[in-house]
C-alpha cells in the first residue's frame, strides 16, 4: 500500500502543475496585469505611473512565461508564472494582491466553513442513509412510492429556494433563529441550526434516491436471502449486511468530498453571513486577485487528490478483498 | 402507548432545553449584547480594501476612515449648502496669495497674477491619538495576536503639526500608491520630487521609511501647532481636500510599529488597523464578518452643533445642541452580502437604518399624487421613517467625441446626438428601472451645488420645453426632424441609404442589464435607429474607453467635494481619456468651454462665477457630448429610535452626531421578535406521528410469520 501511496503522491505533482498552468492561462486570458493593477488601485484618478509601480512591486511587470531579456534558466524563472507558482508548492501562498496574508485568511475562514460543513455532511449522510433504508424496508409499498416522489420533488427544487424559504419561514415568520450572522465559540449554535438543517434538507432528495438504488440492488442478492432464511431480523439485514456491502459505491461519492468540506459553501455562507471560505474564491475572481485565485485553486485540487487517495484507502477498510498495489 | 413515552420525553426535554437556552428573543444576532446600549448597528456589503488614509478613496471605506481620522476641516453637519468649518484645525486656514516676486496679493487678485497660494493651518492644542500599542516603545510581541487589543499595553500622545506634514509626505510614498498624488503634485511640485527621491531609498528588511528625514518642498512646520502649505498658482478647491482623510494626521510611530517583524504576516498594517485622532477607533476588524468602531476616549472636546438650516429645529436635529461628541459609544458593522437577510434584519430591528433595494421598494415606499412618495402603512406602523436626498452624483450616457459618427463638432453629429438625447426618455427610465429614485439631468451639475439653477432657467432647452410650470421632453417628431437634418432621414444615411447603426458598449449583461438594454433598443427604435449592444467584461470595457473605441457608453461620477469644478472638469479638454488618461471619458474638447473652466475653477462663488457657469452649461447643452442622464436620489429608511440623522453624502464623518434611544429599541425588538413556538411542537408531533406508525409497521413485519404475510 505504501508504494501505491507514494506513486499517487508523485502523480499528484504533474497534476498540480497542470492545474496551476491552466488557472494561470485562464486568468490571464481574461485579465491583464494592467487590469489587476487598476482593480487594486481603484477607478478614480489612477495614473499610468501608479500602475507601473504597482506591477513592479508585485512582480507583474515580468513577462508571463518566457523572459527574452534574461539568459539561461532565468529566462524561465524571471517570469510571472514561475515567480507566482514556485513558492506555492512549498505551501507559501504569500499575500493577496490587496496585501493580506493568504494563509492567515484561509486559517481564519476555515473554522466557520467547517462549523457548517461538518454537521451538514455528517447529519446529511446519516439522515439520507436512514431515510433510504426506510424506503427500502417499505419497498414497493405506498410509503416507498411517496418517499421516492418526495425525493424527486426535493431534488428538483433549487437549493436557493430552500435557503430563501427557510430564512423566511423559520427566521422571519417564526423568529426562532437569527436570519444571518455568526459569532465564534459556543454562542455560534443559533446561527448554525438553520443553515445546517437547510443544507441537510437540500441534499436529502438526491442522496436518498441514490442510496435507495444502491440498497435495492443489494437487497435482492443471495446473501440477503440466506440471512433472512437464517432468521436474521430485517433491521440487522439492512444495517449490518446491506449497508456494509453497499459501502463501496457510497464511499466513492462520500470520502472524496470530505477534504473539500474545508472549502465551504458559497450560497449558504453568503445568505447566512457565515465568514467562511465559500465566497473567498468568488470574491477574489471578482476583485481580480490572482494571488488568492491561484492559491485556492491549488488547495482545492490538492484536497481533491487527497480525497481520491482517501477513497482508495477506505475501500481496503470496508472490503478486505481490495488491495492497493 | 407507554412505549412512546421516552420519545415524547426526549423531545420535550430538547424543546425545553432549546427554549431555556434562549432569552425572551431567540433570533438576536448579537448574543450577549444589550439592546438598550448606546450602540448603532449597521451593515456593509463589500469589505473595504484600504483603511490607510493616503490610499482610501471609496465610499465604503469612507464609512470607516472619516470616523477614525480627523482632517483639519470638516463640513458643517446641518447647514445646507455645505459649509466648511474647522475640524482638527483651530480655525479656518489663512490664505496668502503671492505674486512671482513673492509679494502679497489682495484676495481678489486675478488668477493669472497669482504665482503661489500659501495656506497656514493652526491646529487645536491638546488633541491626542487613540490608545494604541504603537506609542509604547518597549512593547513585546504577544503570542499570535489577532487584534490590536491582544497587545498588552497601549499609549497615546498629543497630535502635532508635524503629524499633518508627515501625512502629506506619505502621499509621495512610493509603496502606498496614493490616488491623489498626481493631482496634488500638480500644485505642490515638491511632492513629485519627494516621490522620486523616496523611490531611490533602500529600506532594509524589517526597517521602515522614516519620512521625517526627508524634507518636502512647499510644506513647513511653523511651530508645534502650525504648519504651512505653499501651492503653485491658485487652487481654491484645495480647501476641500483639507476636509478629507488624505490630509489627516498620522503618527510616525504607527509606521514604525507596523514595520516590525511578523506584523505584516499577521495582517497588522496601517492599511488594516488605522491609528487616528478622530471620534472613533477600530477595535474589531474581521471584514468577512464584523467591524466595530468604539468611541475614542482621547477624542478632543467636540460638541453637537447648535445651528442648522430652516426646519432642523422642528425636526429635532438641534435637540442635542452642545452635547459632547460622539453620542454613540460603539458602532457595529456586520457584513451582509445578500439583500434579503439585510432587509429582514432591518425589519426585525437588528439594523438601525437601511437603504431600499428594488426588490423591497414596493414594500417600503408608495407613490402618491403627482410622483410624490411616502412610506407604506406597514412601515409607518413600525415607526420607520423615510429620508430622501439628491446625491452629488451624475449618471450619464457619453458620446465618444472621437467617433466618426456620433463624435466631432460637425453640425450633423451634434444634431444626431441631440436627436438621441430627446428620444431616450430619461423620466421613463427613472420610473421603470430606478423606482423613481432619480431626477432627470439637464447638465452635469447636480442640485445643491453652487451654479445649479432650478425652474425654467435651469432646463436644457434643446431637449425640454417648459410647459405648465414643469419641463416636458420634446416630442419624438422633433428628434426625427433633427435626425433628418443630421443626414439620416427615417434612420437611414441620406447618401447611401444604409440604416444608421449605433453601438453601445456596456458591461450590463445580467438580468437587470438585459431589461435595460431592451428598453434602450426600444428608445432608439422610436427614431428608426438600430442599436447594437456590445456587451463585454469590465476590463475590456475599460480598455475601449481608454483607447476611444467605444461609440456610446454609460458612465457616472460621484463628487469628491461640493464645488462645480468637480463636475465640469469631467468635460475639460485637458482631462481627455484618450489624450491624457483623464476623467473626460467622452473626450470632449471645446476651446471656449476649456477657457471658461480655467477661469471658473479659480473664482470664489458669486455672480461672476454664476455667469460663467451659465455660459459653460449653455455650451454643453448645445454641443451635447453627453445624454445628461440623471442625478441619483437616495432613499433611506431609519427606525424611530435613531436620532440626528441628516441625509447628505458630502459630509461623511456623520457617526459622531447620531444618537440612539436604546430603551425604545430594546422594547421594539422584544415586541417584534417574539418567537413562534407552536411550529416546534407541531414538528415534534409530526415526527411522532410519522415514526410511531412506521415503528409499529416495522414491528408487525418483524413479528409476522411467512403464512401471515402471504395472507396479508
Tell me how many residue pairs between chain A and chain B have CB atoms under 8 A apart.
Answer: 146
- In which band, very low, low, confident or very high, does the pLDDT at B17 lie, cut at 50, 70 and 90? low
Distance of CA B206 to CAs B209, B257, B259, B270, B622, Å? 10, 11, 6, 15, 59
Residue A100 has pLDDT above 70, yes or no: yes
CB contact under 8 A, B583 and A273: no
Distance CA B118, CA B498 (A): 61
CB of A174 within 8 Å of any CB in chain B?
yes
- In which band, very low, low, confident or very high, does the pLDDT at B138 lie, cut at 50, 70 and 90? confident
Q: How near does any CA of chain B get to the CA of A17, in Å? A: 26
Specify whether the CB–CB gap between B212 and B162 falls below 8 A: yes
Task: Identify the weakest region by mean pLDDT among A43-52, B152-161, B492-501, B564-573.
Answer: A43-52
| CA terminus-to-terminus distance, chain A | 6
Facing B179 at nearest CB: one of A42, A98, A175: A42
CB contact under 8 A, B29 and A41: no
Which pLDDT tens digit goes with each residue over B98-132? 999 999 999 888 888 999 999 999 999 999 999 99
CB contact under 8 A, A104 and B334: no
Choose the mutation target among A60, A178, A281 for the interface with B, i.e. most B CBs under 10 Å. Answer: A178
Q: What is the pLDDT of residue A97?
A: 84
Task: Look at strands B290-295 and B330-335 and give their pairing.
Answer: antiparallel
Q: Please name the residue that has the C-alpha cell 439585510.
A: B342
Number of domains in chain B: 2
B277-286 burial, b at 16+ Cβ within 10 Å, e below that, comes to bbbbbbbbbb
Which residues in chain B touch residue A183, judged by CB atoms under 8 angstroms apart?
31
Residues 271-310 of A with CB under 8 A from B: 271-273, 275, 279, 283, 288
Residue B707 lies in a domain: no
CB contact under 8 A, B31 and A190: yes
Rounded average pLDDT over A315-319: 85
Q: How near does any CA of chain B get to the CA of A174, in Å? A: 5
Distance CA A149, CA A318 (A): 32
Q: What is the pLDDT of residue B701?
A: 78
Facing B341 at nearest CB: one of A173, A175, A180: A180
Rounded average pLDDT over A11-19: 92
Is the domain of B613 the same as that of B471? yes
Task: Residue B590: give the domain boundaries.
Answer: 391-634
Facing A44 at nearest CB: one of B30, B57, B341: B57
In 3-state terms, what secondary structure has residue B571?
helix
Distance of CA A222 to CAs A226, A227, A242, A321, B275, Å? 6, 9, 11, 19, 75
Adjacent-strand bridge partners of B465 = B472
Q: Please name the residue that has the C-alpha cell 500500500.
A: A1
CB contact under 8 A, A178 and B29: yes
**φ, ψ for residue A124, nearest 5 deg:** -60, -40
Which pLDDT tens digit goes with each residue over A179-210? 999 998 888 999 999 999 999 999 999 999 99
**What integer best gives the mean pLDDT of chain A?**
90
Q: Which residue has the higher pLDDT, A169 or B510?
A: A169
Is the domain of B228 the same as that of B89? yes
Return the H-helix or E-strand segment holding B239.
helix B238-241
CATH number for B175: 3.90.76.10
Choose the mutation target among B35, B41, B145, B337 for the interface with A, i.e. most A CBs under 10 Å. Answer: B337
State which residue of chain B sits closest to A58, comparing Cα positions. B175
Residue B259 has pLDDT above 90, yes or no: yes
Distance CA B618, CA B568 (A): 12
Residue B355 lies in a domain: no
Specify whether the CB–CB gap between B280 and B296 falls below 8 A: yes
CATH entry 2.60.40.10 includes domain A108-282 = no
Residue B53 has pLDDT above 70, yes or no: yes
Residue B524 lies in a domain: yes
CB of A235 within 8 Å of any CB in chain B?
yes
CB contact under 8 A, A47 and B182: yes
Q: How near does any CA of chain B get to the CA of A229, in Å? A: 11
State which residue of chain A sits closest to B28, comparing Cα positions. A178
Facing B539 at nearest CB: one of A35, A49, A167: A35
Give the count of beta carbons closer than 10 Å to the beta carbon of residue B387: 14
Choose the mutation target among A34, A100, A280 for the interface with B, i.e. most B CBs under 10 Å. Answer: A100
Domain spans in chain A, listed from the N-terminal domain onward: 108-282
Quote the cell numbers at residue B85. 468649518
CATH number for B553: 3.10.105.10
State which residue of chain A sits closest to B47, comparing Cα positions. A283
CB contact under 8 A, B701 and A234: yes
Is the domain of B91 the same as that of B224? yes
CB contact under 8 A, B539 and A174: no
Residue B372 has pLDDT above 80, yes or no: no
Which residues in chain A touch residue B702, judged by CB atoms under 8 angstroms apart?
233-235
Is the domain of B197 the same as that of B85? yes
CB contact under 8 A, A177 and B680: no
Quote the cell numbers at residue B386. 423615510
ipTM given for this complex? 0.89
Residues 6+ apart with CB under 8 A from B190: B216, B217, B218, B219
Q: What is the pLDDT of residue B306?
A: 97
Distance CA B58, CA B70 (A): 17
CB of A230 within 8 Å of any CB in chain B?
no
Length of chain B equals 712
Distance CA B420, CA B625 (A): 11
Q: Nearest 5°: CA angle at B460, between B454 and B464?
A: 105
Distance CA B330, CA B67 (A): 12
Quote the cell numbers at residue B14. 430538547
Facing A174 at nearest CB: one of B179, B289, B676: B676
Task: Calculate the dihedral angle through the C-alpha atoms of B237, B242, B243, B249, rounding to the nearest 10 degrees.
Answer: 170
CB contact under 8 A, B698 and A234: yes
Which pLDDT tens digit goes with each residue over A126-138? 999 999 998 998 8
Distance CA B372, CA A255 (A): 60
Q: HSE-up of B133 (CA within 13 Å, CB side)?
A: 22
Q: Please name the residue that has the C-alpha cell 457548517.
A: A116
- In which band, very low, low, confident or very high, does the pLDDT at A49 lie, cut at 50, 70 and 90? confident
Is the domain of B630 the same as that of B496? yes
- In which band, very low, low, confident or very high, does the pLDDT at B2 lie, cut at 50, 70 and 90? very low
Amino acid at each position: 500500500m505504501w508504494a501505491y501511496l507514494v506513486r499517487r503522491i508523485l502523480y499528484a505533482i504533474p497534476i498540480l502543475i497542470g492545474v496551476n498552468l491552466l488557472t494561470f492561462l485562464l486568468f490571464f486570458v481574461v485579465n491583464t496585469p494592467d487590469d489587476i493593477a487598476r482593480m487594486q488601485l481603484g477607478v478614480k484618478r489612477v495614473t499610468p505611473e501608479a500602475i507601473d509601480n504597482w506591477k513592479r512591486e508585485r512582480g507583474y511587470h515580468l513577462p508571463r512565461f518566457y523572459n527574452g531579456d534574461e539568459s539561461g534558466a532565468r529566462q524561465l524563472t524571471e517570469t510571472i508564472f514561475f515567480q507566482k507558482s514556485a513558492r506555492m508548492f512549498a505551501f507559501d501562498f504569500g499575500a493577496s494582491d490587496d496585501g493580506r496574508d493568504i494563509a492567515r485568511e484561509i486559517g481564519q475562514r476555515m473554522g466557520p466553513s467547517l462549523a457548517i460543513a461538518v454537521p451538514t455532511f455528517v447529519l446529511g449522510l446519516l439522515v439520507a442513509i436512514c431515510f433510504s433504508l426506510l424506503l427500502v424496508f417499505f419497498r414497493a409499498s405506498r410509503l416507498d412510492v411517496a418517499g421516492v416522489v418526495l425525493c424527486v420533488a426535493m431534488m428538483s427544487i433549487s437549493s436557493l429556494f430552500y435557503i430563501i424559504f427557510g430564512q423566511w419561514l423559520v427566521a422571519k415568520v417564526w423568529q426562532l433563529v437569527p436570519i444571518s450572522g455568526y459569532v465564534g465559540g459556543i454562542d455560534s449554535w443559533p446561527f448554525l441550526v438553520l443553515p445546517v438543517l437547510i443544507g441537510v434538507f437540500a441534499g436529502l432528495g438526491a442522496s436518498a434516491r441514490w442510496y435507495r438504488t444502491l440498497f435495492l440492488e443489494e437487497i435482492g442478492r443471495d446473501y440477503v436471502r440466506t440471512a433472512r432464511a437464517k432468521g436474521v431480523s430485517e433491521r440487522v439485514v439492512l444495517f449490518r449486511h446491506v449497508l456494509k456491502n453497499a459501502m463501496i459505491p457510497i464511499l466513492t461519492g462520500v470520502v472524496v468530498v470530505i477534504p473539500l468540506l474545508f472549502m465551504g459553501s458559497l450560497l449558504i455562507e453568503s445568505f447566512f453571513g457565515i465568514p467562511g471560505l465559500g465566497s473567498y474564491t468568488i470574491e477574489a475572481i471578482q476583485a481580480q486577485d490572482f494571488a488568492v485565485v491561484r492559491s485556492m485553486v491549488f488547495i482545492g485540487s490538492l484536497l481533491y487528490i487527497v480525497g481520491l487517495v482517501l477513497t482508495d484507502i477506505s475501500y481496503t477498510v470496508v472490503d478486505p478483498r481490495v488491495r492497493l498495489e | 402507548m407507554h412505549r412512546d413515552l421516552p420519545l415524547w420525553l426526549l423531545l420535550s426535554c430538547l424543546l425545553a432545553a432549546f427554549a431555556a437556552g434562549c432569552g425572551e428573543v431567540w433570533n438576536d444576532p448579537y448574543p450577549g449584547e444589550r439592546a438598550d446600549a448606546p450602540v448603532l448597528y449597521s451593515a456593509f456589503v463589500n469589505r473595504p480594501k484600504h483603511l490607510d488614509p493616503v490610499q482610501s478613496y471609496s465610499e465604503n471605506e469612507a464609512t470607516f476612515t472619516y470616523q477614525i481620522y480627523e482632517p483639519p476641516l470638516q463640513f458643517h453637519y446641518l447647514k445646507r449648502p455645505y459649509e466648511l468649518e474647522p475640524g482638527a484645525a483651530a480655525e479656518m486656514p489663512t490664505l496668502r496669495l503671492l505674486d512671482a516676486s513673492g509679494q502679497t496679493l489682495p484676495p481678489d487678485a486675478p488668477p493669472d497674477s497669482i504665482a503661489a497660494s500659501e495656506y497656514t493651518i493652526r491646529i487645536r492644542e491638546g488633541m491626542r491619538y487613540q490608545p494604541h500599542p504603537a506609542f509604547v516603545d518597549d512593547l513585546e510581541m504577544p503570542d499570535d495576536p489577532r487584534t490590536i487589543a491582544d497587545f498588552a499595553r497601549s499609549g497615546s500622545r498629543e497630535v502635532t503639526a508635524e503629524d499633518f506634514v508627515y501625512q502629506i509626505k506619505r502621499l509621495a510614498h512610493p509603496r502606498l500608491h496614493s490616488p491623489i498624488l498626481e493631482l496634488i503634485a500638480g500644485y505642490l511640485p515638491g511632492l513629485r520630487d519627494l516621490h522620486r527621491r523616496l523611490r531611490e531609498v533602500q529600506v532594509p528588511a524589517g526597517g521602515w521609511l522614516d519620512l521625517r528625514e526627508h524634507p518636502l518642498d512647499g510644506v513647513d512646520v511653523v511651530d508645534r501647532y502650525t504648519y504651512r502649505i505653499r501651492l503653485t498658482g491658485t487652487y481654491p478647491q484645495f480647501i476641500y481636500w483639507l476636509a478629507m482623510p488624505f490630509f489627516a494626521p498620522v503618527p510616525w510611530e504607527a509606521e514604525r510599529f507596523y514595520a516590525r517583524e511578523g506584523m505584516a504576516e499577521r495582517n497588522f498594517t496601517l492599511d488594516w488597523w488605522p491609528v487616528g485622532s478622530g471620534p472613533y477607533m477600530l477595535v474589531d476588524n474581521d471584514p468577512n464578518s464584523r467591524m466595530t468602531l468604539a468611541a475614542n476616549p482621547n477624542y478632543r472636546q467636540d460638541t453637537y452643533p447648535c445651528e442648522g438650516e430652516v426646519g432642523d429645529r422642528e425636526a429635532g436635529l438641534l435637540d442635542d445642541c452642545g452635547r459632547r461628541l460622539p453620542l454613540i459609544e460603539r458602532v457595529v458593522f456586520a457584513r451582509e452580502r445578500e439583500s434579503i437577510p439585510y432587509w429582514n434584519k432591518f425589519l426585525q430591528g437588528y439594523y438601525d437604518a437601511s437603504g431600499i433595494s428594488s426588490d423591497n421598494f414596493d414594500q417600503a415606499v408608495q407613490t402618491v399624487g403627482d410622483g410624490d412618495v411616502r412610506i407604506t402603512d406597514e412601515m409607518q406602523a413600525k415607526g420607520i421613517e423615510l429620508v430622501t436626498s439628491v446625491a452629488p452624483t451624475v449618471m450619464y450616457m457619453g458620446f465618444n467625441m472621437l467617433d466618426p459618427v456620433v463624435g466631432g463638432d460637425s453640425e450633423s453629429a451634434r444634431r444626431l446626438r441631440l436627436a438621441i438625447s430627446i428620444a431616450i426618455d430619461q423620466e421613463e427610465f427613472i420610473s421603470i428601472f430606478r423606482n423613481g429614485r432619480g431626477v432627470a439631468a439637464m447638465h452635469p451639475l447636480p442640485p445643491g451645488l453652487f451654479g445649479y439653477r432650478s425652474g425654467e432657467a435651469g432646463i436644457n432647452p434643446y431637449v425640454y420645453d417648459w410647459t405648465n410650470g414643469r419641463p416636458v421632453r420634446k416630442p419624438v417628431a422633433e428628434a426625427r426632424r433633427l435626425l433628418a437634418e443630421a443626414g439620416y432621414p427615417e434612420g437611414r444615411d441620406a447618401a447611401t441609404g444604409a440604416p444608421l447603426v449605433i453601438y453601445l458598449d456596456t458591461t450590463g449583461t445580467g438580468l437587470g442589464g438585459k431589461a435595460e438594454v431592451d428598453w434602450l433598443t426600444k428608445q432608439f427604435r422610436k427614431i428608426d435607429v438600430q442599436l447594437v449592444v456590445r456587451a463585454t467584461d469590465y476590463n475590456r470595457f475599460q480598455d475601449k474607453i481608454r483607447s476611444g473605441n467605444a461609440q456610446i457608453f454609460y458612465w457616472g461620477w460621484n463628487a469628491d467635494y461640493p464645488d462645480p469644478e468637480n463636475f465640469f472638469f469631467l468635460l475639460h479638454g485637458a482631462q481627455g481619456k484618450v489624450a491624457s488618461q483623464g476623467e473626460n471619458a467622452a473626450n470632449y474638447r471645446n476651446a471656449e468651454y476649456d477657457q471658461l473652466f480655467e477661469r471658473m475653477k479659480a473664482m470664489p462663488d458669486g455672480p461672476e462665477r454664476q455667469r460663467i457657469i451659465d455660459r459653460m452649461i449653455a455650451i454643453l447643452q448645445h454641443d451635447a457630448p453627453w445624454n445628461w442622464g440623471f442625478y441619483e436620489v437616495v432613499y433611506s429608511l431609519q427606525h424611530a429610535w435613531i436620532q440626528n440623522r441628516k441625509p447628505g453624502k458630502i459630509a461623511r464623518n456623520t457617526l459622531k452626531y447620531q444618537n440612539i434611544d436604546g430603551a425604545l429599541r430594546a422594547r421594539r425588538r422584544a415586541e417584534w421578535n417574539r418567537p413562534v413556538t407552536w411550529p416546534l411542537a407541531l414538528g415534534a408531533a409530526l415526527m411522532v406521528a410519522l415514526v410511531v406508525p412506521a415503528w409499529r409497521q416495522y414491528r408487525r413485519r418483524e413479528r409476522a410469520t411467512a403464512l401471515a404475510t402471504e395472507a396479508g
